[in-house]
Structure 1
């Protein structure tokens, strides 16, 4: 290029140095130069490009006030005129991922090379997979430095007009495009080769991307709810105020039991949510029953629509929780409920 390469970085309120969840509604703002992870991005870019500024926004602001956020971010892009937009990486943070995707789309609409990074199951990928270039990352910031290095390399490659190879080679999330390529062997030869390798127990790699998901058959319906004992489980991070058991806001490996005897409803004076994956303002200042609807279930109990409520509820955080941990916790909770003759469970997700 005939001028120094200008890069603008997008970060959320946490990585942008504004604050944690209490700043999730912070509006779009600008900071000069590289901020926080942007310094590692600058190191990855080397002398080839300069991070001239950082756009920062609260996760909730961008996902709830999307049009206002996009207008503000777009105005900054028009003023800064970058050659490259780097967003995130967002890892497995859903709101952050959606914001990164929107910022990349804004940049691309202006002819700016845009690259982000996030976990393959992030909401941003699931929503905008085909519309953005996202480096595949792990679930959390422990992979920050290598993710930024991959993002910088990919951005420079796209900027210079170099042809991108397959996702499995370049390290980005597959976008759903299929391109014809020349191969040294016919399809039937490759298929037979994979089959014989599999039969012999030798390593082989399929040419199709296959996602394996558990199929969980639904339980049989409750016959006669008026005679049923109902248990309550929440993945909304609901805990007694002060979080005495130190339930984490993400990647939980534990659940906790809390008594319901004597409670007809949950109040903000005694309960709060520590979930780190959504805005907890309403739960923690107005009504925690949204995350665990005890008030409504007690009403059903008084009406005779159900027999009773199990006197203990189970709480964990479903934010970025590994499938293996969720399966183990679910099994332990189910075993206790079954042992105590609970007929059905109301599982409140977020």
Structure 2
């Protein structure tokens, strides 16, 4: 089986965020994680070429990127394409998914990728690829590679991948059963009414529902805190908050600061152009406006600390943990309300 592998600029060894604008290029054989995949597939398949593209360039030039990458892949007449794994990197996941879509539609061959379930690429493109579940970051590469290789081997043998080895693809297929749908539905309803266990044929998604708190009674006496997922930190990013998939949040002292300047503050966020935020961090964390409201008596007081993390690629589980820790800290200071800013 001939395989072409798609990876981004980081795993291609070109560079990090500063090289995210590189155009697609083709290299012979396996590169980066493709070497481990190629070794795991020895005797079954071979990675004959690797396509590398910067995450930003791909997503900012989507139609051109899909066509260019497709043309590069087509040159090697592959039997299968592997994309990633992208873990929880959002732009990388979206690029891998777009590659899967254009390959499956035009070349009619299978595509295998690996992503964390919360990666947006899963929801948008899962119908076009066999998506192996990975961990949140590249730290899980060691388990992602053998899992992806095992699925490729099943496809190479002409077998359907086993349930549980990939994320649900969201495809509906016809299935013939002895009992018609209305009878099955009534049977499930009776089981539910009796309090008996039953299994729905179409599981419904589960969403967190958080009731909003009542409004602040008197804003002129309220203590207000600023919290941001836009990555605004003191100059130099002292807590080394990651530009993507943040593993922490920071708590920083405001004191009598009235303005966030380019000399004192910056953004750690890697998911948007930082130029304007670095020039004036108040554009993301409006300390200057809050001070005006404080002086005018619109609010009682601005809290002495602000809290910051980076939202892109950060898992729901981590975000929930940060929110709980920040909320607990705000209670200690008897903060009445929070303004949460993003980008």
TM-score normalised by structure 1 residue count: 0.81
Query: Aligned to 2:146, what secondary structure does the other structure show?
Result: helix
1:312 maps to which of 285, 289, 305 = 305
Indicate whether 1:150 and 2:147 are aligned: yes
2:241/2:247 contact within 8 Å kept: no
2:322 aligned partner? 329
1:229/1:344 contact within 8 Å kept: yes
Deviation at 1:34, TM superposition (A): 0.8
CA 1:280 to 1:241, structure 2 compared with 1: closer, same or farther past 3 Å?
farther
> How many residues are aligned here?
336
Query: Aligned to 1:96, what secondary structure does the other structure show?
Result: helix
1:33 maps to which of 15, 25, 29 = 29
Unmatched 5+ residue regions in structure 1? none
1:110 maps to which of 106, 110, 113 = 106
The answer to which of 261-270 and 61-70 deviates more is 261-270
1:114/1:155 contact within 8 Å kept: no
Indicate whether 1:49 and 2:45 are aligned: yes
The answer to which of 261-270 and 38-47 deviates more is 261-270
The answer to which of 337-346 and 31-40 deviates more is 337-346
Deviation at 1:280, TM superposition (A): 4.9
Indicate whether 1:90 and 2:86 are aligned: yes
CA shift digits 1:277-309 (9 cap, x unpaired): x14533564443343233443454455543432
1:24/1:279 contact within 8 Å kept: no
1:271/1:284 contact within 8 Å kept: no
1:236 aligned partner? 230
Query: Aligned to 1:223, what secondary structure does the other structure show?
Result: coil
Please give the alpha-carbon distance, in whole angstroms, between the structure 1 residues aligned to 2:298 and 2:60: 37
Query: Aligned to 2:63, what secondary structure does the other structure show?
Result: helix
Query: Aligned to 2:51, what secondary structure does the other structure show?
Result: strand
Please give the alpha-carbon distance, in whole angstroms, between the structure 2 residues aligned to 1:241 and 1:305: 30
CA 1:9 to 1:177, structure 2 compared with 1: closer, same or farther past 3 Å?
same
2:135 aligned partner? 138
2:118/2:316 contact within 8 Å kept: no
Indicate whether 1:297 and 2:290 are aligned: yes
Please give the alpha-carbon distance, in whole angstroms, between the structure 1 residues aligned to 2:94 and 2:314: 19
2:83/2:112 contact within 8 Å kept: yes
* Equivalent residue runs for 1:214-253 within 5 Å: 214-250=208-244, 252=246
Please give the alpha-carbon distance, in whole angstroms, between the structure 2 residues aligned to 1:282 and 1:275: 11
CA 1:77 to 1:253, structure 2 compared with 1: closer, same or farther past 3 Å?
closer
TM-score normalised by structure 2 residue count: 0.82
1:100 maps to which of 76, 80, 96 = 96
Deviation at 1:98, TM superposition (A): 0.3
Please give the alpha-carbon distance, in whole angstroms, between the structure 2 residues aligned to 1:11 and 1:33: 13
2:88/2:315 contact within 8 Å kept: no
Unmatched 5+ residue regions in structure 2? none
* Equivalent residue runs for 1:63-212 within 5 Å: 63-111=59-107, 112-158=109-155, 161-165=158-162, 169=163, 171-179=165-173, 209=203, 212=206
1:268/1:287 contact within 8 Å kept: yes
Query: Aligned to 1:25, what secondary structure does the other structure show?
Result: coil
Please, what is the CA RMSD of the aligned residues?
Answer: 3.4
